Amino acid sequence: MKRREFITLVGGAAAWPMAARAQQNLPVVGYFDSGLPGPARDLVDSFRRGLKQAGFVEGQNVAIEYRWGEDQNDRLPALAADLVRRKVAVIATPGSTLAALAAKEATATIPIIFGVGFDPVELGLVASLNRPGGNLTGISRLTHDVATKRLALLHEMVSSATSVAVLTNPSNRANEVETRELQVAARELGLHLLILKASSLSDIETAFSTIIQENVTGLLVNTDVLFINRREELATLSARHMVPAIFPYRDYVAVGGLMSYGPSMSDSFRQVGIYTGRILKGEKPSDLPVMQPVKFELALNLRAAKALGLTVPPTLLALADEVIE
C-alpha cells in the first residue's frame, strides 16, 4: 500500500469515532408518532422548521431519534419506554394523542411536547392550559371541539342528505366524546348518524362498503393519525363511491377531498418544533402554556364537487378560506 493511501486510510478511520462522538454530544429529541413515516414526511418537515426557528438544525446542533408505531397501537408503550431508556432530552409527539399518552405513562421527568386534537386537560395530559404542571405541554388543535361545525357544513353542502356516516378509530378513546357530541348535533339537524369503526386500511374499505349498502349520503371523518396517514385513500374512495365527505384538515382537500374545516396541521407541527427548541434551551414545560389555534379554515375543492355532481352553495364559497379549482 502506498504511504499516502495508508495515511488517508488511518486518518479516515480516526475520524469515524470522532464523528460518532460529536453526534453523541448533541442533545437528542425523541420524535414519537403512532402512524407511518411516509405519509407524515411533509409534517415532519414542518416540525423541523419549527426547531430551526428556535435555533436547532438536525445533524448540526441536535439529533432526532424517530419512533413510529406504524398504526399498531400496542407497540406504543415499548417505543416510549425505549426513548426513555435512551435518555432523550425531549419527547415530541406532534401528531398523535395515543403517542402522547404512552409517553406520559413512560416518564414523569423527560419533557414531552404534544400536539393533540382533543382537550389535553380532559385527556389527563396537563392540569390546565395556562399552567400545565408536570413535564408536558404543547398544542391543542381543538379539532374535536369543532366536529359539530363540520357536520353542519357538510349538511349545508349536501342539503338533501338524510344520513351521514362518521368514520372513527375505536382505539382512540378521544373519539368517543366527539362521537357523542355528533350524535346530539345530528338529531338537531334531522340527520340519521351511522357510526363506522376503522383501525386499519381494510377496515376503511369495509366502511365504504357499508356506506354504499346503507345508502348513506354523506361522510364525516374523525380526527385520527390513521386517517391522516390514509388521506389519499380516503379521498379516492370518497370520489370512487360518490360520497360527499368532510375532513378535519386541508391536507385531505389538497389530495382530492371535497372539503375540510379545522386548523392548520403543518402550523401546529411547526409550533411543536418551536416549543421543543425552547425546552432544549432550558425552559420548563410547566412554564409554557398549552397553545391553541387562533383560526379555523374552511377549504373547498371545486373539482371534487363537480365530480360528485354538487353545486357549492354561495354561502360556503363566501366563507371559504381556500378554494381549490
Q: Which domains does the chain have, with CATH numbers?
A: 3-142+265-287 (3.40.50.2300), 144-262+296-324 (3.40.50.2300)
pTM of this prediction? 0.83
Cα 42 to Cα 8, 38, 45, 291, distances in angstroms: 40, 9, 5, 21
Whose grid coordinates read 365527505? 245
Q: How many residues belong to the chain?
A: 325
pLDDT value at position 165?
A: 96
Instruction: List all residues 6 or more positions away from 278 whose beta carbon is below 8 Å from its beta carbon.
Output: 54, 288
Mean pLDDT by 10 residues, the chain (325 residues): 42 40 77 92 96 97 97 94 98 95 97 93 93 95 84 95 93 78 91 93 94 95 89 95 95 96 93 98 96 91 96 95 92
pLDDT value at position 5?
A: 43
pLDDT value at position 144?
A: 67
**Helix segments in the chain, DSSP class H:** 3-24, 41-53, 76-85, 97-106, 120-123, 147-157, 174-189, 201-213, 225-229, 231-240, 250-254, 265-280, 302-307, 314-319
b/e burial code for range 21-51 (CB count within 10 A of at least 16 → b):
eeeeebebbbbbbbbbeebbeebbebbbbbb
Which residue type sits at 198?
A
pLDDT value at position 24?
A: 62
Which contacts qualify for 18-22: CB closer than 8 Å, 24 or more apart? none
Whose grid coordinates read 420548563? 284
289 contacts 132 by C-beta, under 8 angstroms: yes
pLDDT value at position 9?
A: 40
User: In the sheet that 192-197 helps form, which strands lie side by side, from edge to edge?
Assistant: 192-197, 163-168, 219-221, 245-247, 259-262, 297-301, 322-324
Rounded Cα distance, 174 and 117, in Å: 9
76 contacts 86 by C-beta, under 8 angstroms: no
pLDDT value at position 2?
A: 43
